[in-house]
Structure formats: structure tokens, C-alpha cells
Structure 1
Amino acid sequence: MARALFISVVFWLALVMPATAGPLAGLIAAIPAIAALGSTAASLIGWGVTAALAIGASLLLAPKAQTPTPSDVSGVVKQDVPARWVHRGRRRVGGALLFAEVKAGNLHLLIANQHGRCEAFERTLLDGHEVVLDGLGLVTGIVGSGENPYPLYTIQVVTRPGTDDQTAVGELTGTFPELWTSDHRVRGTALTYIWQGYVDPENFSKVYPNRIIQVEQIGRFGQAYDPRDATTAWTQNIALLLGDYLTSADGMQIASGYINMPRLAAAADLCDEEVPIKGGSTIPRYNGGLSYSMDADPASIISRYLTAMDGRLTLLADGTVGIDAGAFSEPTVIFDDSCIIGYELRAGGDPASEANDIRAQFTFAGADYVAADADPWRDEADIAASGEAKTATLSLFEVEHHNHARRLMKLAAARALPAYQGSITTNLKGLEAWDQRFVRIRGTLYSLDHTFEVLNIALDPATMTVTLQVVSLAAAAYAFDAETEEGTAPTIPDDDDAATIGPPEGLTVTRSYRTVSSGVRAPVLEVAWDAPLRAYSTAQAQISVHGAGAWRDITLVRDANPPQAGLAESVSDGTEYDVRVRWRAPDTDWSTISTETAIGDPDAPDAPTAVAATPVGGGSVDILWLAPVSARYAGARIYGNDVDDFATADLLSDLPGAPSPNLQSHRLTGLAADTWYFWVTAVNGSGVESAEAGSGATTIT
């Protein structure tokens, strides 16, 4: 059906198009090739045949799915049916737990690092620290520390590269022959086996502070075909990695003949082009890596590749797909009043999407491939003129160098605050912009003479007009002075031993509560601290009654890796507590102690109503009030003064009580004969008072 539709459109266009329309002829020639790509691939290239035929950069404009962060792919997950992850370039990875058994006090783990081949496992990290392995995979120390916290023959790490001829892990077949045989080779999956040996109970928490070791690998993953020398090898070239995804069996499965190899070679050259970085060295222009789950939306994966190299995909006149990396080229196609039929251009950006403060996170290779914040790219002039910072945040986890991230941020800033954006409608000359990234528009409107980036092209066969979605983008957006524009990269920490790490900083303790039943609130203390740049092992947080020194551990909230928060639940209302935290493996010093009082119900109840004072003689008075009808009401306090000033009043009675709709009363005795003023406050279970409610002047006799 799809092929029939394409053929029908080709036939119809052939009837109505002028014989001399060269670009349109190429367009028609390409349509059968779209069908040959397959329906899924064709839709992802951004093509559709409706009332108008749209081509261009639709993938670049589509919303991106949530991008996996480095911590998303470096942890070890245990699921009945885990997602299969694919890594490309150099990545820091964990994986899915395939096997976990204990025998003779030793723990045996098998982790699937990725679906596909690992060219080389380069570095192994245990609990966030790179370790030294001997020829048998036994851990002999921590790199750079000169120490080995692991006793000899305690931990062994063995890997398999994910090749079709790999063998089963002998340590498993020998120990668990009834569970794991020589046929359990897990071919096509890169694996890490860990043997965590028995340790005496008194030393267990020191050797294994997290109980089960967190194992991560930094390695070179995957291969890609390079048309420049007709070889297939590991690479960090973003254009080649995208070409591999489009053609691989685990990707889009487009036949390689439909990829325009000269264009791919040119894009690969641009990605490998050395550009200067701050300090005098160079890096390739667009190199990096990418991790994705095989159940991820293919459009989002392609979009991530394109974002990392400021690239785009184009269906060319010969029916092949062109892969291009971002670079400015002086336009050869110029539109002026002789061919422009109409404008829908506005000066400035779209108010809904313009930004003058570009933020980004990237994968910082210099700090062992953890997520890091790039130096913000701010348009201080626009911030001052508009009176506000309008922030946009980029997820650039395919990018591994600060210079690379800042170049993409500069381009994003230029597109977020353009001089002009919108669309123009032209006659068929507009088709000359097909496969052109940049055009020049000259027109009487706005006295235009600007370079524009073409975002999309649509042909309306009924009117034989072409509409171009465009945004102004000058060559200056691609120019980059590393010394003045690269900004300040995140700090690379020193060797991660206890002396250089230091204790956690930024410890804060916040009073909170949880509702247990019938609206009753129980106190908790929320604890948080700053994360280090490196992914160190789990922190240890402890709590004690203030000054008692009876420390006990706090439950960690595992919404980050490592956890950066804890929750102390078994605390008493109104009691003051001390809290401290430290990093584990290696054990650092404890942080500065933070002190806070647990308050189960920090919100004041409603004030009493209908407060009245009735003298009964003999220096006595009955105080009456209506308490708020709430489960949080726990009593009342009565104050008195001989002047109408609550601030200087004395507390005369502190009364526990339960919520009731009935009028409540309490008799005060032994009062001096005088004019008195009385007030009543409501109190909740944590002793927090409401506003006062007064009775007015009362004469006591």
C-alpha cells in the first residue's frame, strides 16, 4: 500500500510539474527510494506525502526524549527482564545482573554490560575507585593510592568481550555446574564476572562498605564503518556512529547502499577536524559517545547523534540519505523579491522558546565520565535589557569535553535569540534550497540581507509554491575563540584517597513530618549533603540525641548515585539531635555536626474561637473557648495580663485536651483583684501554638 501511494504521487507530480524543474525532478526521483527504506525508516527521515510534500530537518526540531545520564548507565540493575543497553564510543558502564549466587561464603555475580561487542575493557572501578588487576583478574590495589583495602584473593574480575565465539565463564561452570554449563556463553553480550570472596565478620564492613561491590567498567564499545578507508573499527566519530546506527541490525536496518557515502565521509572529516581548546591543545570537532536502551524511540537516538554534531539528515536527489555535520558555509542560493511571494517573518525569537541563559550538562571524560555542568552561556546584554534571565537547559551527555559543549551552547544561544525567524513562500525557485542548510534572503521587508538556516521545506503542488521555515544564523555563531569563549570547565579532582576527598560538604538537616493515621503527624529529619564530582561509594550518615554521642545509622535515600540524602524516621518529637556524614571506601573524616530539633507538626493549628472570661468571685474566673475541630489539636494554653498586651502576658495554664465541638472551660484561681485580660491559644502535638484569641477586659474581685 505504501509503495502504491508513493508511485501514485510520483505519477501525479509528473503530470503537473514543468519539464525543466530540475530540483523537483530530483525530488520525484527520490520518492521510490523512500519506500525502499521501509516505512519506519522513511518516517524517521522526516518524509511524508500529504497535501504538501515536506522535507528537511524535522528530526532536529522534534522534542527529545529524556536522555540517559551517566549514572543511568553506570549502575547495576536487577530486573526480571532487564533492558538491553548499547554503548558506542568510550563509556563508563554498569549493566544488568544476570547471575547472583552465594557458595561457601563467596558471592558470584555476572553482569551484562552491553548488547554487542566491547573492543576493550580499559579500566575497572569498584565502589567508584579504579583498581589494579593481575593476570588472573584478582584485585591487587587501588590505582594511585598505593594501598589495597582488599585482602589477597578477595575479589576477582573476569570479562567477556561479547563476540560470537566467546566461551562460558569458567569460574561459574566450575562452581555451579548444575546451574551454569559450557553452553552458557551469552554470545553477543559483553560480560563482567565478579567473585566477591568471604571476609571475617569483624572486617566485612571495612572491606565491603556497601555490602555488594558496585562494579563499573570504562571501555571502548562498538564498531562503525568508515567509508574513507573502507574499514570497520572502534571510533568516537559522531558521524560514523550515526551511520552505523542507521544501517546496523540493532539500529534502523537501512541498507548501506542508501547512505550517501561521500557525504558521510565529508561529515566524518569534519568531526575529526582538530579544533583548538583553551590552554593551547586541540580536540576533534565532534567526537563523543552514546548509550541507549534498545527499547528507546529510534527518533530520539538519531536526534541525540545529530545534536552532538550539530548535524542533520537529508534525503538526496539520488534517493540516498545524506549525513551532515555542523559547519557554516556561505550560501549559494539567494532569494529576493523576484521569487518571494510572501513573508511570515518576525524580528526576534519566539517568546515561548527564546532564551538568554543557556545551561548544559555533559559527560565529563576528564572526571571518569560522570555528569558535569558546563559553564553557562549568558547573553548579559539581553538579560539586562529584558530584566530577566530566561534559561534553557541542554542535555549533552553524548559530549565529553567542555569545549565541545560550549560550542554547541553558543549555537543554541544564537538560535534562541535570532534576529529573525519564521517562513517565506516562494515560487519553484525555493526548491533550490533543498539540500541547502544556509540561504541568503534579500527583500524590501525589514530591508533584509541576512543569512538564514533552513529548518524545513514544504512544496504545495496545488499552487506550485514552496514554503521555507527559516531562522537567521550568521557565520559568527560557528566562530569560536577557545581562550575567550570556552569558559571555565568543571574541576578535575585530585587522586581520590581519604586525605584529598575530605568529608562531605553542605550538610543540611531539615525538619519534616509524615502523616501516619487520622491526620496525626510523626516527626522526621531530612538530611542532605553535596555530591562530589566523582561517583564515590555510598555515604554513611548517622544521628544521635544532642550531646549523647550514641550514634546510629540513617536510612539513605537512593535517588542518586551515590546517595546524597538520608531520612531519620525514628526520632522523638521535640528532641534535639546531632547529625553527621562521611564518605565510605575510603573512609573519610566525619563532616561537621549539624544540630536540629525534630518537630512532627510544624504547622500551627487554627486559633480558638468564642473566648470569654466569667468572674466567679474570690479571685477566680472561668475561661471558656471553642477549640478547633482538628485531629492535630492537642490542647490549649491560657495567658493573662493586667494590661491589654499579649506580648507581655504570663502563661497561667497549659492544658492537654482532645478536639471537641463542645465549649471548653477552665477555672483560674488565686488571681489578684484587678482588671484582667485573658488569651487562649491552641497547641498541636509538637507544642506549636496558634495565634491568640482574647476575651477582652474582665474585672476580678
Structure 2
Amino acid sequence: MPFIVSAVTAIAGAISGVLAAGGIGAALVRLGGTLLLSYASQALMPKPKVALQARTVTVREPVVPRDMVYGRARKGGVITFLHASGAKDQYLHLVIVLAAHRVKSIGAIWFDGEMAVGAGGTVQGRWAGKITVEKRLGAEDQAAFASLMANVPTKWTAAHRLAGCAALYLRLTYDADAFPGGIPNITVDLEGKNDILDPRTGLRGYSENPALCLADYLAHPAFGIGAGIGAADGIEVESLIEAANICDEMVPLASGGSERRYSCNGVVSLAESPKTIIEGLLSAMAGRVAVQGGNWRIHAGAYRLPEVTLTADDVRAGGLVLATRVSQSANFNGVRGQFVSPENDWQPDDFPAYASEVYLAEDGGERKWRDLPLPFTISAAMAQRLAKIELERARRQMTVKLSGKLAAWRAGVGETVMLSYARWGFAAKPFEVQGVSLDLTASGDGALLLPELVLRETSPLVYDWSASEEAIYAAAPRTTLPGPADVPAPGTPHLAEEMYETRGGTGVRTLIRVTWVEAPSDFVRDYQIRARRVLDKDGNATGEDWITLGRTDQTSWEIRDVKPGRWEVAVKSLSVIGVSSPYVSAEIEILGLTAPPAALESLTIQTAGGLAILKWLPSADLDVRIGGRIVIRHSAALTATWATSTSMDEVAGSDAVALVPLKPGTYLVRARDNSGNLGPVASVVTKGAQVLPFAPVMSLTAEPGWIGEKVNVAVEGGAMKLVDIGSEGRFTFPAGMDFGALRRVRLRSEIDVAALKLGGLIDDRTALIDSWLDVDDTDGAEIDVIVEARSTDDDPAGTPLWSDWSRLDSSEDEVRAVELRARLISESPDYNVLLLRLRIHAEEVS
């Protein structure tokens, strides 16, 4: 068993006793010395108390120990002020103390492990507009948070400066999506203590040098042990400079480049004992602290060339005792452990283990691990170097207890000495002095105080390192579990316009049917829909706000009774904890009741006697079936248009059949909705043939002279047109038809009509009117010519009794005489009626 454990224990007990007793005993003990090791080097010590995880938690407690930050770290803090304000308490004010001293910088702020505020102060992602930040670095003369005083002047005043403490003020604005779980766990990137003394320059500032960080802690009068740098009972400057220089040496890396041999980056909790804190800081540099003669000597992990050689002449008789091996339980041949990994979000992670195949063979093939926690190390390569030093130190297991003469007193604690002892085969073998004590020994002249040394085998190979020994570190793969705020959006909504019948069937309205593909997550519970009309039916911006319509767990929604115009509809997902995704939106142009009906389909004609039976499929438009009409027109031409035909009949929009007089030519049918909008034209052609043959009896022809009574009509270029298109025109034949006696005849009209767009000049046309198929852009014209007749059974030359005027398309009557006229009508203010031909034919069965 090595002697170092008993030596350290004895010295620690002696120091405790002397500090209690005081006097000459204390002075004598100060002449001895021992090494304070990093806890990783003490095989039989309890597990370290410096936590690797608590640093990333922000707490709210009435009494909390202070923290010191050396180097870089991501850590939480202590909430020292918490207050809500605003009309609905929508603002939450927090003050978080991060460190009990001045720091170099306060960088990015993280909420539940996600960056909320960048190092430059830019608020990120869903927190934009929800966070305001103010920072204080911890100067003794720093001012209170100005924005906090402005926001809650009765709660935070200029006296609340948090002097000497690095702190953060946050104002959070309530938003269920930004803060689904309430106050998040807040962590901050820090560059720590900014007043560390470097005795090499005499300047104070920020440093990641472990030797300087340890010296700063030891020298702190309030948080450390008050061992001032260069003080008579403080830290020896020469050894500190040596250790600092060793830490700053550059070491090549396997990936290229280099880094400092040792760096210190971590958090010190002042709740820990000074011994625990010192051991934790020493772990960052494989270091030792030698306490001898009342002085503290800091040694970084490096081989020191020996300046003292001890031989048998320096040893009292029987004064050498050798232990060659440590116990089996304390032995190991591989080192593994954890460090703080910036690549792993500053969480503890395993560094690549360092193991020796040579030592494995020496131990009979049984792998034995030593766990090495490194709370102040953030480099995987540095952690591997520290692991190798621990392994190589532990495998040099020979320990010598040397009871020496006064000449042995020249060996100081923490130094390397050469020991030559022929009996054991030692020829200038290097040992590290790990303990010096005084032994009260009797002699012929009386009692003598003689030194006793504890030596541990060492070698330059302990600290030898090549970049080829480094294993490349890869951070543990991140988990694929979705974050509570990562709610996927649904698919882009599909919008369709539809009509629906109001309750009771009294009217027709327009709806938008919204459908979407569900969000790809089992944690989505509902969808929220909102809509707004962007433009009215005339294309003018409405300025309307969004209207939230509701929520559903389905993937469809109906927006009823919408006005014509351009609509934007948006949908978002809502998770089981109430967090929502971004909205996804689409737009649609709603024509509503202004949309023209669809064309009637499957139009057919059948003849029966003098009737034409027209059939079609029921209209697909609800606003035609309810309150609409089916309009039927006729033209003698085989290639007719709506503007070159005349009205014949109308039936209800819900009908799918109509009986009309049979005439040769084209029947044109179209739907008209309850708002008066006409759909596309469907047409069918017939020869008008009947089973019974008819022979002509008499005919009347109006063109080209158009002799007769004219009301609001005029003749121009051989055609008749309206004088005032806003009023109805009328032409009456000058003489009717007298059949001489009661006679059964069929009366049939023959009409050729066209629409004339206002501004169109007939004079510009050189072809004959009879060759015109249309007149200048007349697709939208709504014109008509209606032929009417009245009849009598009396002699028209006497005092006949005439019937009322009635519409004439084709009819069979038994009459003596008839009179005829035509009415010209334009429903389109931009179009005139152009009546090209008007003839009436009387026929009888031959």
C-alpha cells in the first residue's frame, strides 16, 4: 500500500490539531509540508462534490450560495426579482443573478436549451417581440436596470444596483406559443471572472489559465482562503508563474491546429468546501498544490527536472521502506469520464476513453476503469491528455518512505528528486516528493527533529503526448424527440366556392369549403381557422382584420355566407399543450351570387305535332334551382347566337323540360340564376318538320320598307332599330291578314335580329346586311323582338271585336282576321336592337 495516503491523513490531522492549539507546535508543523492533489488523483477519496449538471438550472430560492465563473460556461442563475405588470399582467419581469463578481461578457440567452436571444441581443424565432433584455457585468459602481425602473418604478429603484454581481433583466410578454410551459429554464453564455491577477504582467483581467484561476480563488479574501499572491503566508509567486507558463504552452491537435495545454472553464459553487473547490480546479491542469513552510506552491501537470539527488548518505540507518504496488482495488489500466461539451449544448458528455493494452496485459487481460470527472474542462482532446496523465501516474506505483538526515531537508514538497540506492537497483531514479514531515528522534545528545519524506515514482513519460494518440471526439447524436414548441403546420388549405340553401329553403348563400392535409404529428390536437376579405368585388382593398372562426379536430371547415371578393383563409395546428404552428394560408376569388351559372348539359329536342319538347339535365347551380329561370330563345338561322335570337319562353330553374312551339332553326337555352346572371348558351337545331303537311295561305313582309306604325323606332340602312334604347319600341303592320271567312290556320313568325353595340358605325361596313352574322362584340347583349297578334271572328272591314294582343311564336287558331306587331326591347344599356327581317306566315293543312 502506498504511504501517501497515510502521510496526507497524518499531516491533515496534525494541521487541524495545531490550528486549534497554536503556539510552538504550529510553528514546527509549518516546517513540514504535503501535497493537495486533484480529487481525480486520489484513488481512495470519496467521489467529488463539484456538480457537472446543476450549473444549467435557474432557481428561485430565498437563500442560495453564490457562484464564481472561471473561463467560459453556460449556466443558470438565481431569480432574485419576479413581478408581473400590465393591464392583464401580460408582462413578467425577472432579474437573474449569474455570478458573484464582475465578468467579461454576457452572451446568448437560452430558453429550455433553445437560443432565445443571440449574443448581439437579437431576439430569435417565436420570441421575437416577446423579450426585452438588459445586462450588467458586475462592476462595483454599476447602475440599476434603467428599463426595469421605468417599467415598475415602485418595485425597482436606483438603489437596487446589484453591485459586484453579474446579472440579467428580462421582460417577457405573455404568449401561449412562445411560453407554453410558463417560465422557461433560462441559461446564459458567460465569459467569466474579469479581474484575475497575472503576476507575469501585473495586470488583472479575464483568463482561462487554470493556475491563475486557482490562485485567484485561493487569494480571495471573502470567497477563498485569503492566501494572497506573494504574501508571506500566501501563494509563492515563482511557482505560480511556472505553472501559468506550463498551462499556456501550445499542444498540437489531431484535427490540425493547436490549443493550450490546460484551460479552466467552469463554475464554482461557494456551497462547496474550499478543499473540494481546490481539488476541482486542480483537475483542469493535472495539478498539485504544495503546502510547506506556510506557503502555497501551485504546480501544473508537467515533469520538473530534478535539482536534488538523494543517496544512502542522506538516509538514517534503516530509514528506507519501499512499497512496490498499490492494492488490486486501487489499480486500473484505463481511464474514462465526463467533461463539459460545448458541442453537446454544454452538457456533460463522455470523452474518448484512454486505455493501455500494455497495462491490460500486465493485469491479466482484465480491463479496469477509473472514472475521471472533469468539471472545468471543455475540450475532448485536453480531457484525453489529462486521462493519460492520471493513468501513467497511477501505473508508477513504487512509493518510498525515507527517514532522512538533515541533508534530506533540501527536498521540497512537489519537487522531483533523484534517488540512488544500489541495493534496490536505483540509479538516479526520479521520484516526486509528496510529503515532508518532522520526526522527533532520540540521540545521544538528546532529541532531534529530522525529516521524513514520502516519495512517489514518476517519469517524463507520464506527461509525454503525441497528437496521434488523440481520438477524435464526436458529440453524442442529438435525440429526434420533437420539442414542445416544434409543432408542424398542416398542409396548405384548399379552398372551393359552393352555394347552399338557407334554413327553410327561402334563399341561397355562398360558402367557402376549406380542406387541408393533417399535420404530420400525433401531438397535434386541433386546428384553428381564420379568414379575412382582402379585396371587395370591385377589386378595392377592404382593410378588414382577421376573424378567428374556431377550432376543429377535423381537416375541413365551412365558412358560410361570405361576400363576393378576394378572401384569404389560414389554418394552423394546435398541440396537446396548446402550442400552435405558424399559419399556412391560401386565397380564393369569391364570385358568390355574381358568378354565372354553369352551362346546361345534355340538351335534346323531340317534336310532337306542332310542339318542340326540349330536355336537359337539372342545373348544377343551387341559385338557379332556387329562384332562377331557364330561358329559351329561337333563331331561324342554323348558326345562331344569343344576340341574334328572340325569346320564346321561360321555365322554372328547377325544371328540366319545356314545351315550346316547333319552328325550324336553332333553339338556344341557358340558365339564369336568382341574381339575374346568365350562364353559357346550349343550343340544338331542328328542321321543324311535322307529320301533317302545311301549305302557305298568306304572308306579311315588313322589310325593307318597314311601312307601318312606328313607336320609338327608326329605319336606317334597311334595318329597324330603337331610337331610345332605354324604352321599348314598337312596329305595327299597316294591314293585317283577312282570310275572308273563319279559317283554321297556323301563324308563324320569321325574325332575323342582331345586336348593335353603341359606338359601332354601320356605315363602316361594306357587306350586305343579310351577310352579317353578328354586329361588333355582341356576346353580352340582352336584346329581344317579340311578335304579338290579335284576332277576330268578324269582318275586319266592319266593327270587329278584337282579342287582346298575345305573344306569337307559332300557333294554330280558327280566325277570320289577324293584326300583327313587333316589340323591340333592349335590356343592355350598351346595345341597340337591329331588326333585319320580320315576316309573318299563315299556313293550313294541305
- TM-score normalised by length of structure 2: 0.50
What code does the residue aligned with 2:92 have? L
CA distance 1:138–1:277, change in 2 (3 Å): closer
The offset of 1:70, in angstroms, is 4.2
Q: Which has the higher helix share?
A: 1
Q: Does the 8 Å CA contact 2:413/2:433 hold for their aligned counterparts?
A: no
Q: Which residue of 2 aligns with 1:271?
A: 247
Q: What is the distance in 1 between the residues matched to 2:111 and 2:92? A: 15
Q: Which residue of 2 aligns with 1:237?
A: 209
What code does the residue aligned with 1:255 have? G
Gap runs ≥5 in structure 1? 1-33, 142-147, 494-500, 506-535, 541-548, 554-580, 588-701
| 1:616-695 → structure 2 map (5 Å cutoff) | none
* Counterpart among 479, 484, 487 of residue 471 in structure 2: 487
Deviations 1:103-151 (Å, cap 9, x if unpaired)?
Answer: 222222211111111211122222212344598x561x2xxxxxx223x
CA distance 1:241–1:537, change in 2 (3 Å): farther
Q: Does the 8 Å CA contact 1:539/1:584 hold for their aligned counterparts?
A: no
Q: What is the distance in 1 between the residues matched to 2:373 and 2:439? A: 36
* Counterpart among 186, 198, 205 of residue 215 in structure 1: 186
* Structure with greater Cα Rg: 2
Q: What is the distance in 1 between the residues matched to 2:230 and 2:119? A: 46
The offset of 1:274, in angstroms, is 0.9
Deviations 1:424-464 (Å, cap 9, x if unpaired)?
Answer: 32222321211452122222444234322221112213254
What code does the residue aligned with 1:476 have? L
| Corresponding residue SS for 2:301 | coil
Q: Does the 8 Å CA contact 2:37/2:287 hold for their aligned counterparts?
A: no
Q: Does the 8 Å CA contact 2:254/2:472 hold for their aligned counterparts?
A: no
Q: Which residue of 2 aligns with 1:284?
A: 260
| 1:441-590 → structure 2 map (5 Å cutoff) | 441-449=419-427, 450-462=429-441, 464-483=449-468, 485-491=469-475, 503-504=480-481
Q: Which residue of 1 aligns with 2:685?
A: none
Q: What is the distance in 1 between the residues matched to 2:117 and 2:48? A: 35
CA distance 1:583–1:275, change in 2 (3 Å): farther
What code does the residue aligned with 2:336 have? R
| Corresponding residue SS for 2:329 | coil
Q: How many residues align?
A: 459
The offset of 1:502, in angstroms, is 5.7
Q: What is the distance in 1 between the residues matched to 2:101 and 2:70? A: 10
| Corresponding residue SS for 1:302 | helix
* Counterpart among 314, 318, 323 of residue 290 in structure 2: 314
CA distance 1:134–1:57, change in 2 (3 Å): closer
| Corresponding residue SS for 2:126 | coil
Q: What is the distance in 1 between the residues matched to 2:578 and 2:237? A: 51
Q: Which residue of 1 aligns with 2:67?
A: 85
CA distance 1:236–1:466, change in 2 (3 Å): same
Deviations 1:254-285 (Å, cap 9, x if unpaired)?
Answer: 23332332332222111111111212211111
| Corresponding residue SS for 1:228 | coil
| Corresponding residue SS for 2:230 | helix
The offset of 1:332, in angstroms, is 2.6
Q: Which residue of 1 aligns with 2:115?
A: 130
Q: Does 1:378 align with 2:355?
A: yes
| Corresponding residue SS for 2:328 | coil
What code does the residue aligned with 1:130 have? M
Q: Which residue of 1 aligns with 2:319?
A: 342
Q: Which residue of 2 aligns with 1:261?
A: 237
| Corresponding residue SS for 2:227 | coil
What code does the residue aligned with 2:227 have? I
CA distance 1:193–1:436, change in 2 (3 Å): closer
Q: Does the 8 Å CA contact 1:402/1:486 hold for their aligned counterparts?
A: no
Percent identity between the two aligned chains? 25
CA distance 1:582–1:122, change in 2 (3 Å): farther
Deviations 1:292-326 (Å, cap 9, x if unpaired)?
Answer: 22232111112222222222233566x64332222
Q: What is the distance in 1 between the residues matched to 2:230 and 2:470? A: 40
What code does the residue aligned with 1:251 have? G
Q: What is the distance in 1 between the residues matched to 2:398 and 2:463? A: 18
* Counterpart among 260, 271, 278 of residue 295 in structure 1: 271
Aligned-residue CA RMSD (Å): 3.6
CA distance 1:174–1:436, change in 2 (3 Å): closer
What code does the residue aligned with 1:425 have? S
Deviations 1:602-657 (Å, cap 9, x if unpaired)?
Answer: xxxxxxxxxxxxxxxxxxxxxxxxxxxxxxxxxxxxxxxxxxxxxxxxxxxxxxxx
The offset of 1:331, in angstroms, is 2.0
Q: Which residue of 1 aligns with 2:163?
A: 187
The offset of 1:360, in angstroms, is 1.9
The offset of 1:488, in angstroms, is 3.0
CA distance 1:373–1:339, change in 2 (3 Å): same
Q: Which residue of 1 aligns with 2:676?
A: none
Q: Which residue of 2 aligns with 1:363?
A: 340
Q: What is the distance in 2 between the residues matched to 1:365 and 1:490? A: 11
Q: Which residue of 2 aligns with 1:166?
A: 142
CA distance 1:52–1:66, change in 2 (3 Å): closer
Q: Which residue of 1 aligns with 2:393?
A: 415
Q: Does the 8 Å CA contact 1:64/1:300 hold for their aligned counterparts?
A: no
Q: What is the distance in 2 between the residues matched to 1:472 and 1:584? A: 65
Q: What is the distance in 1 between the residues matched to 2:190 and 2:333? A: 37
| Corresponding residue SS for 2:384 | helix
| 1:21-36 → structure 2 map (5 Å cutoff) | none
Which piece of structure 1 moves more, 172-181 or 353-362?
A: 172-181
| Corresponding residue SS for 1:257 | coil
Q: Does 1:353 align with 2:337?
A: no
Q: What is the distance in 1 between the residues matched to 2:251 and 2:150? A: 52
| Corresponding residue SS for 1:338 | helix
Q: What is the distance in 1 between the residues matched to 2:200 and 2:577? A: 49
Q: What is the distance in 2 between the residues matched to 1:328 and 1:584? A: 61
| Corresponding residue SS for 2:283 | helix
Gap runs ≥5 in structure 2? 1-13, 442-447, 488-520, 526-574, 582-846
| Corresponding residue SS for 1:193 | strand
Q: What is the distance in 2 between the residues matched to 1:109 and 1:537? A: 23
The offset of 1:87, in angstroms, is 0.9
Q: What is the distance in 2 between the residues matched to 1:427 and 1:586? A: 81
The offset of 1:391, in angstroms, is 2.0
Deviations 1:577-596 (Å, cap 9, x if unpaired)?
Answer: xxxx9999999xxxxxxxxx
Q: What is the distance in 2 between the residues matched to 1:586 and 1:478? A: 56
The offset of 1:193, in angstroms, is 1.6
| Corresponding residue SS for 1:256 | coil
* Counterpart among 108, 111, 123 of residue 96 in structure 2: 111
Q: What is the distance in 2 between the residues matched to 1:474 and 1:582? A: 63
Deviations 1:70-104 (Å, cap 9, x if unpaired)?
Answer: 43112101112112111111111110111222222
Q: Which residue of 1 aligns with 2:299?
A: 324
Q: Does the 8 Å CA contact 2:50/2:272 hold for their aligned counterparts?
A: no
CA distance 1:502–1:413, change in 2 (3 Å): closer
Greater relative contact order (Cα 8 A, min sep 6): structure 1 or 2?
A: 1
CA distance 1:271–1:82, change in 2 (3 Å): same
Q: What is the distance in 2 between the residues matched to 1:487 and 1:190? A: 38
CA distance 1:442–1:583, change in 2 (3 Å): farther
The offset of 1:418, in angstroms, is 2.0
Q: Does the 8 Å CA contact 1:128/1:537 hold for their aligned counterparts?
A: no
What code does the residue aligned with 2:57 have? G
